[in-house]
Structures are given as structure tokens and as C-alpha cells.
Structure 1
């Protein structure tokens, strides 16, 4: 009887050693899993594919998608391509695109069909500070120079680019860009004239009172 008890005891002891070894191996495995870095949850958003100036009409190639950890995604980050929308301010390459970076399509509520929002950079930033949304302005540019006239004899004329155009937005200044940006509601002919005036012209405004 004693021999049977000793045999059972030895078997139990052997099983205990095997069970302890298994539990130790499992514990080591779980510890190693816990120490491994876990993949961070992320989401895809749109970022600038290159430096973009104020007033850029966005095209598909201006933006690309990037995955950011959820904690790093800024509020209002866009995930769908806003092709055709206009930037209210400049963006650096790699900067996430958010809703406040775009000129709102609601700016044109109440205007007739065919009206578009046109960003215009005005040379005199001080004049822009006199404006408010809803003001109507004339946009003027210097007349093309005549080669045969000297600066002293050349007449000082200006040509009218857009007349009585409503101001629909005055974006907050960004960086050290020259002049100041305003957004006008214009028909397509006025928009084409403003776009054709060239980025380096000195634009001035007259405000009807």
C-alpha cells in the first residue's frame, strides 16, 4: 500500500513539474507579447503635396493622402478631395488640410447662378483694412506701359478690371506675403479678367461710398 502511495506521489510531482514548466513558458510568452510595440491606430487624411499659395484653386495633384495616429489628426481634417475649392491661406508641403483652410462655398449664398468666388491680392494692405464683408469695390490695375514713352511723360492711367464687385471674405493674413488677400463675388467674365491681370500687377481698390 505504501508503495502505491509513493508511486502516486512521484507521478503527481512529475506532473507538477511539467505543469510548472508549461505555465512558466506561457508567462514568458505573454510577457514578450506585452513588450512588443503595438501598431498605432491611424486614419487617412489629406495633406498638401507641395507648398500652396493663398487663393490656389485645388486640383487633385495638389493634395495627397497620409495616415496619422488618431491623436495627431487636427480637428476639421478633410478626407475627401475638395477639387475646385479655393484656399483661404497658404499651406506648407505636408500640412494637413482642414475645413478652415478653404473658402466656404456658403460665401456665395444669395448670389445669382454663374457667380464665383475669386481671391484677389491687393498691393495696399492698408486699404484692405478699411474693407468689410459686403462692401463693393472697383479693382484697378496700372495701364500697360508704352515703350516709346518715358516714365516722366507716360500718362498715369489705370484700367478697370472689375467694377462694383462685392467683398465676400477677407482672409486673415498669413506669413509675410506682400499686400493682402480679399475674396470677391464675380461673374465668369470678371473672374477671367482678374485672373488675366497677372500676379505681379499692383492692384488698388476704390470703394464706392
Structure 2
């Protein structure tokens, strides 16, 4: 049985744990979770399953010839780094995921009201 190709979109997603993002490489698969504030009665829910990592940006000023591993973070006058202080003051990281359009909409909605986390496969 031949399945039709699934159309995907490249979606930048800010993940609340930069250390986890440092483990990712293009081609990896991840599940994405929205973690709402438990003090406000929030809960954790799965937003995407098996999303493919397309890109893990390097911090601003990183050597482009270096490994794809993300190093320490810095904010510079040129702009925010791919890893920067998040809303809670901790590090977060930007990663680009390939997901179907319906999942992209869920990711955008969830990121507006919750912190996002990933679990590598």
C-alpha cells in the first residue's frame, strides 16, 4: 500500500530547556509538550508526536565551521542568540521542526500560553 506524502511546514519553536535542545541534531524526532503553570491549574499535554528536527541554530557569534553542537549563550548587540533567557529567567532555545500544518497551528497556540518542552526519541 502506497501512502500519499504528508505535507510539512518548517516551524520555529522556542523550547524552555536549552540543555535538551543541545542534544538534538537535524533529522532527530521529538515529542513536544506544553507545560502550563501548575499554580494556575495548568497541566502538561502533548502537542506534537514524532516531529522531525530540521535545524538547531547556533548562538550568535558561533564559529560556522564548528560542530552543530550548541554552546553557551550570550546576548549581543546584533540581536538575541538562539539560546537566551526565557520568561522565567532560565535558558531557552529555538529549534525548527517539520510538522503538518495542523500541528503547526497547535504549536503556535500552545506557545502563547505555556512553556514548551521536547523529549527526543
The two structures have a TM-score, normalised by structure 2, of 0.64
Contact 2:10 2:99 in 1 (8 A): yes
Higher RCO, 1 or 2 (CA under 8 Å, sep at least 6)? 2
For these two proteins, the number of residue pairs brought into alignment is 89
In the TM superposition, what is the alpha-carbon distance from 1:142 to its structure 2 partner? 1.8
Moved over 3 A (4+): none
Q: Secondary structure, in 3 states, of the residue corresponding to 1:198?
A: helix
CA distance in 2, matches of 1:159, 1:115: 22
Q: Secondary structure, in 3 states, of the residue corresponding to 2:115?
A: coil
1:20 aligned partner: none
Higher Rg:
1
Contact 2:37 2:114 in 1 (8 A): no
In the TM superposition, what is the alpha-carbon distance from 1:157 to its structure 2 partner? 3.8
Unaligned stretches of 5+ in structure 2? 61-74, 86-91
Structure with the largest fraction of strand: 2
The two structures have a TM-score, normalised by structure 1, of 0.39
1:164 aligned partner: 50
Q: CA RMSD in A?
A: 2.2
- Aligned partner of 1:133 among 6, 11, 26: 26
Unaligned stretches of 5+ in structure 1? 1-111, 146-150
- Would you say 1:198 and 2:111 are equivalent positions? yes
Contact 2:15 2:95 in 1 (8 A): yes
1:124 aligned partner: 17
CA distance in 1, matches of 2:52, 2:93: 16
